[in-house]
Homo-oligomer: A and B are copies of this chain.
Amino acid sequence: MSPATPYLEVDIGRLDRNIERVAAEAATAGVALRPHVKTHKSPDIAHRQLAAGAVGVTVATVGEAEVFVRAGVTDVLVAYPLWLTDDAAARVRALTEQAVLTIGVDSVTGAARAADLLAGSDVRLLVEVDSGHHRTGVPPEHAGAVARAARGSLAVVGAFTFPGHSYAPGAGADVARQEAAALTTAAASLRGAGIEPLVLSGGSTPSLAEADTDVASELRPGVYVFGDAQQWELGSCSPDEIALTCRSTVVSHANGRMVLDAGSKVLGADRAAYSSGHGRLLDDPDARVVLLSEHHAVVETEQPLPPLGSTVRVVPNHVCNAVNLVDELWATGPASAPSPWRVAARGRNS
């Protein structure tokens, strides 16, 4: 039985095709795939990715790592420059009893602190380097210096970068080149510090098709499992690959427009500079959400208005933030996949 609208619905056939396509591409390229599970936050989906060949998962917080390790995932990268408190260090140590755990650092201070608070543990470090997104990460040529601050106490196994500036129209290929250059420089810097990098990790969904797998040993896309309106507009997925939508009811025809019961409290409020609206309809590609409140989406369409009480499928702009608003995902498709799937890591921000 379906729940009351608005709710998030997953098309299992599309989900599995997305998982299998990217897994096959990674296998062909000889690069490890470590999907970022912040997109779905659901062990049910992580296990499908692992079954298709993923080497482990990527998360952003210790809390997310705890959820996936508890669910049986045995290889987890926290791709984030964690600032360890005593409590966070204890939680990280506890995780190493059950999984291979790798965490990020992006400063000499942070690396020294990790080395101090995690001394004697099996935690592995990756140095985060900046490939042009200018969010976190040290300049690639400083990777060795950061690594030195931890070495002797913890294993530094390589470097990672997030090429987030791929989220701009047409940016994919250029950004992938910058990513490869940054990882190459980071590897040289680590070697200069006497560390042979085992892991050079990159990847975002928009730059995935262009990633240089001669340089990167591992890729960490997240959004590819579902797609969303951002990927649709960036050209990194087609509408028939979009596997997650918000099932919504038409509640009003005010002003001759369609008003839905899905708002920013289930779709998220993301709107990138390149977005053409606050969301789209999967079955009416020319329609746009032109006004988004917490519980209303006002849609403009050239099509006849669907009757009051009918339902439509909304494609959120940024699926990661939509998923983080709900406790369950309702799967449609093979009867062999009982749902709802629990968004077990929803809200695990720490």
Contact = CB atoms under 8 A, between A and B. Distances in A.
Interface string A75-109: 00000111101011000000000000000001101
* Interface SS of chain A: loop
Given A255-B134, A294-B320, A85 B4 contact: yes
Nearest to A317: B269
Interface in A101-130: 106-107, 109-110, 113, 130
B321 A106 contact: no
B136 A350 contact: no
A326 B63 CA distance: 14
A330 to B, nearest CB: 12
Give the interface residue-count category, chain A. 35 or more
Contact of A6 (B80, B254, B294, B350): B350
Contacts of A251: 80-83, 110, 136
Interface in A235-265: 249-255, 259, 261-265
A295 B58 CA distance: 14
**Most chain-B CB neighbours within 10 Å: which of A113, A250, A318, A347?**
A347
B164 A293 contact: yes
B350 A326 contact: no
A145 interface: no
Copies per assembly: 2
A271 interface: yes
Nearest to A41: B265
Contact of A135 (B259, B265, B270, B318): B259
Interface of A: 3-7, 38, 60-61, 80-83, 85, 87-88, 106-107, 109-110, 113, 130, 134-138, 164, 249-255, 259, 261-266, 268-271, 291, 293-296, 298, 308-309, 318, 320-321, 324-327, 347, 349-350
- Would you list the 10 A-B pairs with minimal beta carbon distance, nearest first? A4-B350, A269-B270, A269-B269, A83-B251, A136-B252, A60-B295, A136-B254, A266-B349, A81-B252, A265-B324
22 contacts: A4-B350, A6-B350, A7-B349, A38-B294, A60-B295, A61-B295, A81-B251, A81-B259, A83-B250, A109-B308, A113-B309, A134-B254, A134-B298, A135-B296, A136-B254, A262-B349, A263-B349, A265-B320, A271-B271, A294-B320, A325-B349, A326-B347
